[in-house]
Chains A and B, each alone.
Chain A
Amino acid sequence: MKAAEAYNITHRYGKVTALDDISFTVGDGELFGFIGPDGAGKTTLFRIAATLIIPSGGRMTLFGLNTVSRYRELRNVIGYMPGRFSLYQDLTVEENLNFFATIFGTTLKENYNLIEPIYRHIEPYKKRLAGKLSGGMKQKLALSCALIHRPKILILDEPTTGVDAVSRTEFWEMLAGLKSEGITIIVSTPYMDEALRCDRIALIQSGRILGIDTPDNIRHSYGQKLYAVSHPDKYKLLITLRSHLSAENTEPGALRPEPFGDSVHVTLPEGIKPEQVITALAASGLTGATITEIVPGIEDVFLELMKRTQ
């Protein structure tokens, strides 16, 4: 039995379509990531999964139970962490945990070993008001409260947004630990690099899924060879590659250049060799450029899929 199944989920707010025909399955014990920017529909989708919203169309089941009709039972086995920090700012760390433990009919002691790898980071501050914790600490507390009743499935809506890079890394390490306990985890994030830590990912943009697969398969689905071109004058390099460059048989823009920090990623059309690009750049006044083949990243694929759907 699948941990989660979505069949043609659609959701509208007035005239705006937040989710458009979303379907996917998540296996038991899988770490499944939804990767996409703000406004992609991740929060809406997660609220539907958490039984908080009835979708306009389609249906979703968790462990075979419909999220709309069997919400009462499901709420006992779901651990939910919504987008913003949503615990009680004016209660202490300890009080928050005890509260959630009690309403789920358990105690801190009972499931302590499950949350210990996370809780030990914040245990020294257990008497501090939750509102006075740093961003990273708040996330850990929220995760602990979501886990306190040993749920079968964790639904985490952008748990690492707004948190510093160090805490983000720690958080994903904690998730890997939880996976080994057999808990299914559905998580969303706008950070493309975090996608690599998931078993499978769904790329989501403007309410539509652009692709679902393992991170590796997604990277290899790019299909063509990808190259990184570098030159000290980053701006000139970009506009030259985009509009002025004409090697034999190329139209401007055929290289589909995308800036990636200190380099520009390009795809070479059929028959064009990397050296030709360097020569053409030099002819336009950019001497000393370099070009290397690279393995496509999740973001490269995401960009490509986005452009195809627009």
Chain B
Amino acid sequence: MEREKVIEVEGLVKKFGSFVANDHLTFDVFRGEIFGFLGANGAGKTTAIRILCGLSRPTSGKVIVAGIDANRPEEIKKRIGYMSQRFSLYDDLTVRENIELYGGIYGMTMKEIRPRTEELLNRLIFSQYGNTLIGSLPLGIKQKLAFAVAVFHDPEIVFLDEPTSGVDPITRRQFWEMIYETAARDITVFVTTHYMDEAEYCDRVTIMNEGRIVALDTPSALREKYDSSSIEELFVKIARPKTETA
């Protein structure tokens, strides 16, 4: 059975002046997949994600996200969820207020939001935190909540930008379990990470270097191809940034 593609990218190019941030990227992502995006800082990951999220337009190339062309970013934004390490939820709003805000922004009615909020809080055992300001919660809980909010409106794809930076090992695993569970619900998960060992949680992994894709396959296939015992090892082999870009 042909798997359905939720993201199709062909020959994507993004230039800033004469600097080529994305150099003819080509890849597809299938529904329900956990798709990992790895690469050093400055390799072009953030640029590519911004285009896929509808935050930026490609210079050239074909980009289709959730069936919508990248030149209609407003339509794309309605169908996706987003969570980044830099910012997730508003510190000076409570847990409930944040959930209701994002639910509202994504077009859900209060009738839909209220029961789902309670269900979500119960499931994550957060009910006692419902009226707590986000700013006073520990980092691990914040990150898990931010993820839950990102998928609250049942998007087709959720983009996670370095979501587990800095959290403790237990929380990190709980987070990845949430990702697994989300993918099992047929929501595609597009995740970038600095932790090479997390690449192994993904169904398929892409490694970017200097604007180009230098590897794209399942983690085990990549390890075999580059004769490495870990993704970290093969990353060092193929993604060493040239010193010119210092």
Indicate if A touches B (C-beta under 8 A). yes
Select which of B167, B169, B198, B245 is within 8 A of A302 by beta carbon.
Answer: B169
Asked if A307 is an interface residue, CB under 8 A from chain B, the answer is: yes
* A238 surroundings in chain B (CB, below 8 A): 177, 180
Which residues of B are found within 8 Å of A205, using beta-carbon distances? Answer: 168
Interface magnitude class on chain A = 35 or more
Whether a CB of chain A sits under 8 angstroms from the CB of B44 is: no
Q: Is B40 an interface residue (CB 8 A)?
A: yes
Is A258 a contact partner of B236 (Cβ separation < 8 A)?
no
Closest to A242 in B: B177
B125 at the interface (CB under 8 A from A): no
* Chain B CB within 8 A of A271 CB: no
Interface flags for B184-207 (1: CB within 8 Å of A; 0: not) read 100000000011111111000000
Does any Cβ of A come within 8 Å of B114's Cβ? Answer: no
* B40 A261 Cβ-Cβ under 8 A: no
Contact B246 A306 (CB under 8 A): no
Q: Is A166 part of the binding interface, using a Cβ–Cβ cutoff of 8 Å? A: yes
- The smallest beta-carbon distance between A168 and chain B, in angstroms, is 10
Q: Is the CB of B201 within 8 A of A234?
A: yes
Q: With the chains together, A191 CA to B198 CA distance in Å?
A: 12
Knowing A193-B232, A261-B197, the reply to whether A299 touches B169 (Cβ < 8 A) is yes
Over the window 277-310 of chain A, the binary record of Cβ atoms lying under 8 Å from chain B Cβ atoms (1 yes, 0 no) is 0000000000000000000000100110011000
Let me know if B170 and A306 touch, CB within 8 A. yes
Chain B residue nearest to A307 in the complex (CB): B170
Q: How far is the CB of A295 from chain B (nearest CB, A)?
A: 13
User: Are B166 and A259 touching (Cβ within 8 A)?
Assistant: no
- Contacting pair A37 B184 (CB below 8 A): no
Contact: B219 with A122, CB < 8 Å?
no
- Taking the nearest CB of chain A, how far is it from the CB of B58, in angstroms? 25
Pairwise interchain contact B201-A261, C-beta atoms closer than 8 A: yes
Q: Is A190 an interface residue (CB 8 A)?
A: yes
Determine if A37 and B200 form an interchain contact, defined as CB atoms under 8 angstroms apart.
no
A192 touches B180 (CB 8 A): no
Contact of A136 among B139, B180, B232, B246 (CB under 8 A): B246
For B41, what are the chain A residues with a Cβ–Cβ distance below 8 Å? 134-135, 162-164
B140 CB to nearest A CB, Å: 8
| A303 close to B170 (CB less than 8 A) | yes
The residue in chain B whose Cβ has the minimal distance to the Cβ of A230 is B220
When the two chains form the complex, which single residue of A134, A161, A192 contacts B169, counting CB atoms closer than 8 Å?
A: A192
Residues on B with beta carbons closer than 8 Å to the beta carbon of A192: 169
1/0 contact string of A208-238 vs chain B (CB within 8 Å) = 0000000000000000000000000011001
Which listed residue, B180, B198, B236, touches A165 by the CB 8 Å rule? B236
Q: Does A133 contact B (CB under 8 A)?
A: yes
Q: Which residues of B sit under 8 angstroms from A235, Cβ to Cβ? A: 177, 180-181, 183-184
Let me know if A262 is at the binding interface, CB within 8 A: yes
In the assembled complex, the CB of A42 is this many whole angstroms from the nearest CB of chain B, namely: 11
CA distance A135 to B246 in the complex (A): 8
Contacts of B236 in A (CB 8 A): 165-166, 169
Verify A134–B42 contact, CB threshold 8 A: yes
* B127 to A: closest C-beta gap in Å: 20
A124, A258, A306: the one within 8 Å of B168 (CB): A306
Taking beta carbons and an 8 Å cutoff, which residues of B are in contact with A?
A: 40-42, 138-139, 165-171, 173, 176-177, 180-181, 183-184, 194-201, 219-220, 232, 235-236, 239-241, 243, 245-246
Closest 5 CB pairs of A and B: A261-B200, A38-B166, A164-B40, A37-B168, A235-B180
Sampled A-B contacts (22; CB under 8 Å): A36-B168, A37-B168, A37-B169, A39-B166, A39-B168, A134-B241, A134-B245, A161-B166, A164-B241, A165-B196, A165-B235, A166-B236, A169-B236, A205-B168, A260-B200, A261-B198, A261-B199, A261-B201, A262-B200, A303-B170, A306-B170, A307-B170
